[in-house]
Amino acid sequence: MDAQTSFLDTLFDRGILHESGVDGLYARSALFEDVIRRFEDYVIGLGRDETDEAMVFPPGMTMADFETSGYMKNFPQLAGTVHAFCGDTHDHMALLECLATGKDWTDGQKRTGLALTPAACYPLYPIVARRGALPEGGLTVALQSYCFRHEPSKDPARMQMFRQREYVRVGSADEAIAFRETWKRRGSEIMTALELPHHVDVANDPFFGRAGKMMGASQREQELKFEMLVPITSSDKPTACMSFNYHQDNFGKAWNIRQRNGEPAHTACVGFGLERITLALLRHHGLEPAEWPDGVRKVLWG
Amino acid sequence: MDAQTSFLDTLFDRGILHESGVDGLYARSALFEDVIRRFEDYVIGLGRDETDEAMVFPPGMTMADFETSGYMKNFPQLAGTVHAFCGDTHDHMALLECLATGKDWTDGQKRTGLALTPAACYPLYPIVARRGALPEGGLTVALQSYCFRHEPSKDPARMQMFRQREYVRVGSADEAIAFRETWKRRGSEIMTALELPHHVDVANDPFFGRAGKMMGASQREQELKFEMLVPITSSDKPTACMSFNYHQDNFGKAWNIRQRNGEPAHTACVGFGLERITLALLRHHGLEPAEWPDGVRKVLWG
């Protein structure tokens, strides 16, 4: 049995996660949620003074904004769209017949106006765009969302439904880049305070297909994405527990977010993978948070 | 402009919710989330002594369990299924072509193993079933989940994606019924403590179609469902902010949950509509929680 399956089974056995029958979809225990909440409170505290506002998003976004994001073009294999029954009594009879005989009934499902949110910051951009030109000095927003990625896996750190907490900077190129550098530094300080082995490395998103390989290489070359890597089930392939992203003016252009000078806004974000960080803590400090090192407990329990 | 749209616009104007372009899908502000969190902490405290364990679910459940629940049979119009792109490079080219020319690209989306959770307690039952026969005295679980219902509306209290906190009782018929009666009483005490106008009434779920009307009538006749009604945007049609449900042994049979004596388990649940209760508080006590009545603040802020 490999390290991923073994760690996952341990989490099931201890009732820290509960299996559902689908890889990457798990119920969380009170213990797991308590760690997530305490980590979130800690990170919210670190960024509070420089944050203009905070938002929490539902797990879905509008199909229109999902299309605008470009996610379906670049990562179709990971995206999820929401479909629903839109029929009448006659269609319902056919549906009941399918359900009763075990036939696939999902072909009749129609698209709705919603997609599952693939990255926590996407729903923010249209909200900011709707307000008109940015205020002087741009905007910094703290947010949280459930995200969906269609990649069933036995790796407990690769869930299909998971939460990201983010800070997003919207402003000039200089402001976005400075923000990202600040949080790269802070990310290392956080991991040091939590006594987790870690290092930051340049990274790329999992663009689809052959052409996608080139896009990933270009993203690395331009150093647009960095990840905070922590070994969870493997030292060779550590897990990205945070990411530090500079989007240039891609989202500013896509949603028409304007700086005060009329130029498209530049954006950057730092994302914290809440389940992954919790799993890293459980892996390195043990399955009983009451017995974690004093320094870690002081950070999270105060 | 009617009362629903007017209240929704006020919430947008004050930045308490943020519009997305789709009715029933909104970003929540820090103020809104703070009320939700405090209400949850209050309700968790009320039930802590009699709760065996707590869980938090991701916003989706397995398609297999979704089918077992019977939701698609009874409420197909409200359900959401998750679909994904499962093609190769060739299919990706066709997808890109659709996206570029504005053609509908969602026909190519295939079912995944997931549906959006329509009611917070459904993912619990297969977890309990997997453990074998119930412990003596059954089980009481506290849980929380995002839920999805496909019913776009201008009523801010009718969101498509919203959170339910629940207590679920799994045991004998007597245990399930006693639990429901306890929480009906407690629900009224909560609403009194929060100084909200309220009353409890028998209710039925929105079963689909003509045959569904009869199922709803039968559910009312057997008094299986009660709701805690609070006027939010209408006094004539108050909003269900809690519900108190006795499922008989329907879920015990569906998932094969057994009492110690081998009989199918009976289940009951009390659900708290977290967004709805928050909206009721904002409606009746004003949009500035710092100015809410002392009694209400004492309950939520301690």
- Tens of pLDDT along B199-213? 999 999 999 988 899
A contacts of B59 (beta carbons < 8 Å): 59, 146, 161
Does any CB of chain A come closer than 8 Å to the CB of residue B214? Answer: no
Smallest CA–CA distance, residue B208 to chain A, in Å, is 8
Residues 183-202 of A with CB under 8 A from B: none
B contacts of A54 (beta carbons < 8 Å): 29-30, 33
Does any CB of chain A come closer than 8 Å to the CB of residue B27? Answer: yes
What pLDDT does A164 receive?
A: 98
Superfamily of domain B3-80+118-301: Bira Bifunctional Protein; Domain 2 (3.30.930.10)
CA-based torsion, A36, A39, A45, A47: positive or negative: negative
DSSP state at residue A86:
-
Which of A17, A20, A151 has the most B C-beta neighbours within 10 Å, making it the best mutation to test the interface with B? Answer: A20
- Over residues B233-278, the pLDDT tens digits come to 999 999 999 999 999 999 999 999 999 999 999 999 999 999 999 9
Token pair for residue B7? 């209240």
Does any CB of chain B come closer than 8 Å to the CB of residue A12? Answer: no
Give the number of residues written for chain A.
302
Q: Which one is predicted more confidently, A209 or A67? A: A67
Smallest CA–CA distance, residue B3 to chain A, in Å, is 24
Alpha-helical (H) ranges within chain B are: 3-13, 30-47, 63-69, 71-74, 89-101, 124-130, 173-193, 209-221, 250-255, 274-285, 294-301
Alpha-carbon distance of B117 to B80, in angstroms, equals: 8
Token pair for residue B71? 């939701």
Of B71, B50, B52, B62, give the one whose Cα is nearest residue B250: B71
Does any CB of chain B come closer than 8 Å to the CB of residue A127? Answer: yes
Long-range CB pairs of A12-20 (<8 Å, 24+ gap) are A14/A287, A15/B53, A16/A282, A16/A287, A17/A156, A18/B55, A18/B127, A19/B127, A19/B130, A20/B61, A20/B62, A20/B65, A20/B123, A20/B126, A20/B127
Q: What is the mean pLDDT of chain A?
A: 97
Does any CB of chain A come closer than 8 Å to the CB of residue B217? Answer: no
C-alpha pair distances (Å), A117 with each of A28, A253, A301: 20, 20, 31
- Give the position of tokens 């009353």: B199
What pLDDT does B1 receive?
A: 60
- DSSP SS3 for B82: strand
A contacts of B12 (beta carbons < 8 Å): none
Q: What is the mean pLDDT of chain B?
A: 97
Does any CB of chain A come closer than 8 Å to the CB of residue B153? Answer: no
- Residue A18's H or E segment, with its range, is strand A17-19
Token pair for residue A45? 């505290």
A contacts of B57 (beta carbons < 8 Å): 27-28
Q: Would you say A165 and A272 are in contact if contact means Cβ atoms under 8 Å apart? A: yes
- Over residues B171-181, the pLDDT tens digits come to 999 999 999 99
Alpha-carbon distance of A183 to A269, in angstroms, equals: 9
Chain A residue closest in CA terms to B91 = A76
Alpha-carbon distance of A199 to A195, in angstroms, equals: 12
What pLDDT does B3 receive?
A: 87
Asked if B109 and A77 come within 8 Å (Cβ–Cβ), the reply is no
What pLDDT does B85 receive?
A: 97
A contacts of B55 (beta carbons < 8 Å): 18, 27-30
- Over residues B25-72, the pLDDT tens digits come to 999 999 999 999 999 999 999 999 999 999 999 999 999 999 999 999
- Over residues B180-196, the pLDDT tens digits come to 999 999 999 999 999 99
A165 DSSP β-pair partners: A144, A272
Does any CB of chain B come closer than 8 Å to the CB of residue A58? Answer: yes
Of A157, A151, A154, give the one whose Cα is nearest residue A5: A154
Does any CB of chain B come closer than 8 Å to the CB of residue A48? Answer: no
What pLDDT does B210 receive?
A: 86
Asked if B159 and A73 come within 8 Å (Cβ–Cβ), the reply is no
Alpha-carbon distance of B170 to B265, in angstroms, equals: 6
CA quadruple B67, B71, B72, B75: dihedral, nearest 10: 180
CA angle B117, B118, B124 (to 5 degrees): 60
What's the burial of A235, exposed, middle or buried (CB within 10 Å: 0-12/13-18/19+)? exposed
- DSSP SS3 for A10: helix
- Over residues A36-70, the pLDDT tens digits come to 999 999 999 999 999 999 999 999 999 999 999 99
Alpha-carbon distance of A161 to A150, in angstroms, equals: 9
| Secondary structure (DSSP) of A125-150 | HHHHHHT-SPPTT-EEEEEEEEEE--
Smallest CA–CA distance, residue B83 to chain A, in Å, is 5
Distance of CA A187 to the CA centre of its chain: 16
Asked if A109 and B81 come within 8 Å (Cβ–Cβ), the reply is yes
Q: Would you say A8 and A18 are in contact if contact means Cβ atoms under 8 Å apart? A: no
Q: Would you say B260 and B247 are in contact if contact means Cβ atoms under 8 Å apart? A: no
Q: Would you say B120 and B164 are in contact if contact means Cβ atoms under 8 Å apart? A: yes
Alpha-carbon distance of A123 to A255, in angstroms, equals: 11
Token pair for residue A222? 């331009």
pLDDT band at A1 (very low <50, low <70, confident <90, very high): low
Chain B residue closest in CA terms to A125 = B20
Asked if B106 and A54 come within 8 Å (Cβ–Cβ), the reply is no
- Over residues A252-264, the pLDDT tens digits come to 999 999 999 999 9
Domain ranges of chain B: 3-80+118-301, 84-115
Does any CB of chain B come closer than 8 Å to the CB of residue A75? Answer: no
Percent of chain B with pLDDT over 70: 100
Which of B26, B62, B112, B121 has the most A C-beta neighbours within 10 Å, making it the best mutation to test the interface with A? Answer: B112
- Give the position of tokens 């009604």: B229
Pairing mode, strands B110-116 and B81-84? antiparallel
Alpha-carbon distance of B283 to B288, in angstroms, equals: 10
pLDDT at B165 over 70: yes
- Over residues B110-135, the pLDDT tens digits come to 999 999 999 999 999 999 999 998 99
A contacts of B213 (beta carbons < 8 Å): none
Percent of chain A with pLDDT over 70: 100
What pLDDT does B211 receive?
A: 87
Of B30, B64, B92, the CB nearest to A76: B92
Residues 273-302 of B with CB under 8 A from A: none
What's the burial of B152, exposed, middle or buried (CB within 10 Å: 0-12/13-18/19+)? middle
Of B57, B95, B104, the CB nearest to A76: B95
- Over residues A117-155, the pLDDT tens digits come to 999 999 999 999 999 989 999 999 999 999 999 999 999
A contacts of B150 (beta carbons < 8 Å): 82, 84, 112
Asked if B25 and A62 come within 8 Å (Cβ–Cβ), the reply is yes
Q: Would you say A100 and A74 are in contact if contact means Cβ atoms under 8 Å apart? A: no
Alpha-helical (H) ranges within B197-249 are: 209-221
Give the number of residues written for chain B.
302
Alpha-carbon distance of B49 to A198, in angstroms, equals: 40
What pLDDT does B2 receive?
A: 86
A19 DSSP β-pair partners: A26
Does any CB of chain B come closer than 8 Å to the CB of residue A82? Answer: yes
pLDDT at A283 over 90: yes
B270 DSSP β-pair partners: B167, B244
Residue type, B211: A
Alpha-carbon distance of A19 to A157, in angstroms, equals: 14
Which of A9, A92, A162, A275 has the most B C-beta neighbours within 10 Å, making it the best mutation to test the interface with B? Answer: A92
Smallest CA–CA distance, residue A207 to chain B, in Å, is 12
A contacts of B168 (beta carbons < 8 Å): none
